[in-house]
Amino acid sequence: MSMQPIVLATAILLTGIMAGIFFTWSNAVMPGIGKLDDLEFLQGLKSMNRVILNNAFMAVFGGAMIAVFLLPVFNFSSFPKALFWFYVGTFLLYAVGVFGVTVNGNVPLNELLDGTNLDQLSVPEIKALREAIESRWNSYNLIRTVCSTITFAGLIVSHFFWGE
């Protein structure tokens, strides 16, 4: 049995989970904690960012990236060549729009918040920290949501369009 169907199924599953996670953060988590006062918002976001860094999340996040990377590798000699290039584009979208945005956008904001002792800040400093984090974090997460959802949908379509 070829590895291609297994890699595609894995990529579909893991990108779907990630799209769901990012969508949930955009659609429920951030709007929900967005209604809290500044200190409660920062405490809540800090707590959730710490909790999400667990083995299950890391396996799905990293596994999705690996599976999407392997698609063009396993389809390098496929015909039609359009499938290979489609998977290259899918990988680039996911690598830049999900992985890259996470590493270069959301994670630095999470680290800024995590490294801040909220108990030592004044009310104006707490307000300024929230203003420095919230809208940028939400914008980055929206990019991740859109890119992971397009990747997920594209992989499903590729199965029906080019699948055996």
pLDDT digit string, tens, across residues 68-77: 999 999 887 7
- d(Cα 65, Cα 42) in Å, to the nearest integer? 29
**What is the 3-state secondary structure of 47-65?**
HHHHHHCCHHHHHHHHHHH
Can you give the residue ranges of every domain in the chain? 4-162
**What value, to the nearest 5°, has the Cα angle with vertex 63 and ends 57 and 68?**
135
The per-residue pLDDT for range 1-25, each reduced to its tens digit, is 577 889 999 999 999 999 999 999 9
Model confidence band, residue 79 (pLDDT cutoffs 50, 70, 90)? low
